[in-house]
Structures are given as structure tokens and as C-alpha cells.
């Protein structure tokens, strides 16, 4: 562990060719925000970037990091905070988009945990991740019904064939998606949308899937923090589990 005060690019003074870079903000009130690299620093070895946000600076750690680096080999991106300290600062929409375009990386895993983001901004980010295979969204503890990104629009945007207001092109979002994990902290969840969307990504015929440019979704996990699960509601997707897709739906009382 190295504590960096000042230019965030100084982290590379302590590591040569790192494969994983983890940046987090200190809790103490006397800490100062890191400053970005100008111009952005290129590192071809980093494949995993984890950002642990804590302070609501005008320029968050995420903004500083995305402005400071170019990682063409990046495959895994995690934006998170501590579960007891939800980060409700601004989502780094512009800097994240610029970072992904500049890096031209083939991102395969994207995790967002305990960070406030709207469904619109989350979908906009996913549009820049066509190579994504694994998606993990945890809205705890910021995700009460009015702020959670796991809305009806977000769920329907993952549909394999449906045009939506946030995805009007009709082309499937994250076409290579094979694993989807959602943790929902609110009460008002669109069960019908979920039940309709998941089967649309079940494409076990490889030739057909390749022909339409979609991968077969293989693993789906949905966990509710504050809701019980009515087995009769999710009965329509039972056949998917028997057919070969692992579908797990857990309620608040589940272990």
C-alpha cells in the first residue's frame, strides 16, 4: 500500500508494469484530493482498475483517475465504495466516456457497487462496453426506489430484441453478456420486465446466436435486500434453470 498525495500518476513510481491498480480515498478529514496527470499517462500492463470512492470532492477520485490514465489492456473495471458509507457524489459520465474511448480497451467485466448512478447514465456507460461479458450492479445502500439504477428502463434495456426509450436503436446492449448479477435494495422492482428480459438472452443455439450477434446469457443472480420472493411470480423462468441457464433469485430472508 502506498499513500499518494498530489499527482495520481505518482503511483507508477512505486510499481513497474502493474497488472492491477487499486485506488481509494482516505477517510481522514485532513486529506486532500489527488490531482490528475496532464497529459494522461499510458500504461499497457494494467488489466484491472478498482476505484474505491469515499469523499464528495468537486473532482472525485473517479474523475481524476479517468482523466489521468490510458489503459488499452483494461479488461475489468470496478467502481465502488464501502457498504456503510454510500458514495453519492456525481457519476463520472464525461470522464469515463473519454477514458474508454481513449483507451480503446476490450472491457469484459464491469462492477458498480454502492455508488449513486442513474439508469440513464448507467446505460450510456454500457453502450461504450460492447465486449462486456460480466455485469455486476449492487445498489446497496443508495438504492432506494427513487435513486436505484435498477429500474424498469434499465432491465428492459438489456432485452435481446426490444427497443426502449433509452435504447431506441433496437440493437442489443452489451451483446456478449454471459453473466448478470443484480443486488436490489428497494421495494418496487419490475418483476415482469425481468422475467421477460432474461429469456430473451437465452440463446443456446450457437449458430443462431452468432448469426444475430448475441451471446447466450448463462448466469443470472438477483438478490433482494428488502423484499421477499414469491415463487409463483418467478415460476415462468424455472424452465431456464432446467435448460442450462443458472438462474438464482434470492429474497431478504435468504442465506
Q: Could you read off the pLDDT of 162-178 as tens digits, one per residue?
A: 765 655 666 789 999 99
Cell of 251: 429474497
Mean pLDDT of 96-117: 95
Tell me the pTM: 0.90
Domain around 45: 1-107
**C-beta of residue 220 within 8 angstroms of C-beta of residue 198:** yes
Question: Do 128 and 239 reside in the same domain of the chain?
Answer: yes
Whether residue 234 lies inside any domain: the answer is: yes
Question: Do 41 and 100 reside in the same domain of the chain?
Answer: yes
Whether residue 16 lies inside any domain: the answer is: yes
Question: Do 15 and 90 reside in the same domain of the chain?
Answer: yes
Whether residue 160 lies inside any domain: the answer is: yes
Instruction: State yes or no: pLDDT of 39 exceeds 50.
Output: yes
Question: Do 122 and 151 reside in the same domain of the chain?
Answer: yes
Question: Do 140 and 250 reside in the same domain of the chain?
Answer: yes
Residue 215 CB-density burial (10 A; 0-12 exposed, 13-18 middle, 19+ buried): middle
**C-beta of residue 45 within 8 angstroms of C-beta of residue 73:** yes
**C-beta of residue 6 within 8 angstroms of C-beta of residue 36:** no
What pLDDT score was predicted for residue 3? 44
Whether residue 73 lies inside any domain: the answer is: yes
Distance CA 197, CA 240 (A): 12
Mean pLDDT of 24-36: 70
* pLDDT, mean over the chain: 87
Instruction: State yes or no: pLDDT of 1 exceeds 60.
Output: no
What pLDDT score was predicted for residue 168? 61
Domain count, the chain: 2
Instruction: State yes or no: pLDDT of 142 exceeds 70.
Output: no
Cell of 237: 423462468
Whether residue 170 lies inside any domain: the answer is: yes
Q: Percentage of residues in the chain with pLDDT exceeding 70?
A: 85
Q: Percentage of residues in the chain with pLDDT exceeding 90?
A: 60
Question: Do 150 and 101 reside in the same domain of the chain?
Answer: no
**C-beta of residue 166 within 8 angstroms of C-beta of residue 123:** yes
Whether residue 149 lies inside any domain: the answer is: yes
Instruction: State yes or no: pLDDT of 2 exceeds 50.
Output: no
**C-beta of residue 47 within 8 angstroms of C-beta of residue 81:** no
Question: Do 70 and 191 reside in the same domain of the chain?
Answer: no
Distance CA 113, CA 253 (A): 21
Instruction: Give the end of a domain, one of 76, 107, 138.
Output: 107
Whether residue 112 lies inside any domain: the answer is: no
Q: Could you read off the pLDDT of 170-219 as tens digits, one per residue?
A: 678 999 999 999 999 888 999 999 999 999 999 999 999 999 899 999 99
Question: Do 96 and 166 reside in the same domain of the chain?
Answer: no
Question: Do 227 and 204 reside in the same domain of the chain?
Answer: yes
Question: Do 64 and 95 reside in the same domain of the chain?
Answer: yes
What pLDDT score was predicted for residue 208? 92
Distance CA 222, CA 194 (A): 10
Question: Do 239 and 188 reside in the same domain of the chain?
Answer: yes
Distance CA 204, CA 181 (A): 20
Whether residue 165 lies inside any domain: the answer is: yes
**C-beta of residue 104 within 8 angstroms of C-beta of residue 98:** no
Q: End-to-end distance of the chain based on CA atoms, in angstroms?
A: 34
User: How many of the other CB atoms lie within 10 Å of CB of 55?
Assistant: 16
Question: Do 17 and 50 reside in the same domain of the chain?
Answer: yes
Instruction: Give the end of a domain, one of 63, 83, 107.
Output: 107
Instruction: Give the end of a domain, one of 107, 126, 147.
Output: 107
Amino acid at each position: 500500500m502506498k499513500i499518494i498525495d498530489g499527482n495520481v500518476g505518482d503511483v507508477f513510481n512505486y510499481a513497474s508494469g502493474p497488472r492491477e491498480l487499486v485506488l481509494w480515498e482516505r477517510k481522514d478529514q485532513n486529506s486532500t484530493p489527488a490531482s490528475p496527470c496532464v497529459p494522461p499517462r499510458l500504461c499497457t500492463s494494467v488489466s484491472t482498475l478498482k476505484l474505491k470512492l469515499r469523499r464528495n470532492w468537486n473532482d472525485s477520485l473517479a474523475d481524476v483517475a479517468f482523466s489521468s490514465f490510458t489503459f488499452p489492456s483494461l479488461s475489468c473495471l470496478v467502481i465502488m465504495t464501502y457498504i456503510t458509507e454510500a458514495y453519492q457524489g456525481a457519476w463520472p459520465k464525461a470522464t469515463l466516456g473519454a477514458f474508454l474511448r481513449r483507451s480503446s480497451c476490450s472491457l469484459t467485466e464491469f462492477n458498480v457497487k454502492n455508488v449513486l448512478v442513474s439508469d440513464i447514465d448507467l446505460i450510456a456507460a454500457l453502450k461504450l462496453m460492447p465486449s462486456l461479458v460480466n455485469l455486476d450492479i449492487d445498489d446497496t445502500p443508495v438504492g432506494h426506489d427513487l435513486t436505484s439504477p435498477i429500474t424498469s428502463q434499465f432491465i428492459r434495456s438489456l432485452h435481446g430484441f426490444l427497443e426502449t426509450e433509452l435504447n431506441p436503436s433496437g440493437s442489443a446492449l452489451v451483446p456478449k453478456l454471459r453473466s448478470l448479477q443484480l443486488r436490489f435494495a428497494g421495494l418496487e422492482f419490475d418483476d415482469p420486465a425481468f422475467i421477460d428480459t432474461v429469456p430473451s438472452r437465452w440463446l443456446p443455439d450457437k449458430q443462431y446466436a452468432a448469426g444475430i450477434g448475441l451471446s447466450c446469457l448463462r448466469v443470472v443472480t438477483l438478490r433482494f435486500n428488502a423484499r421477499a420472493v414469491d415463487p409463483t411470480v418467478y415460476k415462468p423462468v424455472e424452465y431456464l434453470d432446467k435448460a442450462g441457464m443458472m438462474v438464482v433469485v434470492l429474497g431478504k430472508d435468504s442465506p
